[in-house]
Amino acid sequence: MTLPKPKTKAGFFALERETWKQLDALTKGLPRPAWTEPGAAGAWSLKDVHAHLADWMIETRRRIPKMLREQTVPRISIPEFNREHYMRNQELTTAQARRRLTRQRRLILKFLKTLSEDALLRNKRVFIWAIWATYNHYDNHVPNIARFRRAILRRAARHSRARRAK
């Protein structure tokens, strides 16, 4: 689902911060093994989702400057991109994936802040790439990660009760 379009550049960054906090809060306090367990997004783990988000941020930072120069930007197959990058990222550790997302988020926000309000909000192609590399993309993953978190915490609670019952 697409979130409402902000009216100002400040609104864009406020929405980004708000949705980032929602996403980030869902990963707080989870046991370390949960980060590599499938189910955070289909068969993907939290580690995979973090690497995935970082990859889209990198790709967006590559494409937006070309769009602003009105250069042709080749179409991209989202399923193919996701599949290719998922395979490429399997060697990453959880710590590497988390650091990578933190770094790429910092870089894309720094980059997007350099754009004029007009370039960010009124250039349709730029805007679509910007929201799907940031807040809309986070929001897209929040419901599945929330369900995943609930399942992990329920299982941990059952395990804890079973251990106390022994």
Domain boundaries along the sequence of the chain: 9-25+33-165
Query: Does pLDDT of 41 surpass 80?
Result: yes
8 three-state secondary structure: coil
**Confidence at residue 162, expressed as pLDDT on a 0 to 100 scale:** 72
Q: Which of 129, 131, 36 is nearest to 81 (CA)?
A: 129
Q: How confident is the model at residue 61 (pLDDT cuts 50, 70, 90)?
A: very high
Q: Exposed/middle/buried for 154, CB within 10 Å: 0-12, 13-18, 19+?
A: exposed
Q: How confident is the model at residue 1 (pLDDT cuts 50, 70, 90)?
A: low
**Confidence at residue 2, expressed as pLDDT on a 0 to 100 scale:** 75
9-25+33-165 fold: Four Helix Bundle (Hemerythrin (Met), subunit A) (1.20.120)
Q: Which of 54, 59, 55, 68 is nearest to 125 (CA)?
A: 68
- The 10s digit of each residue's pLDDT in 72-122 is 999 999 999 999 999 999 999 999 999 999 999 999 999 999 999 999 999
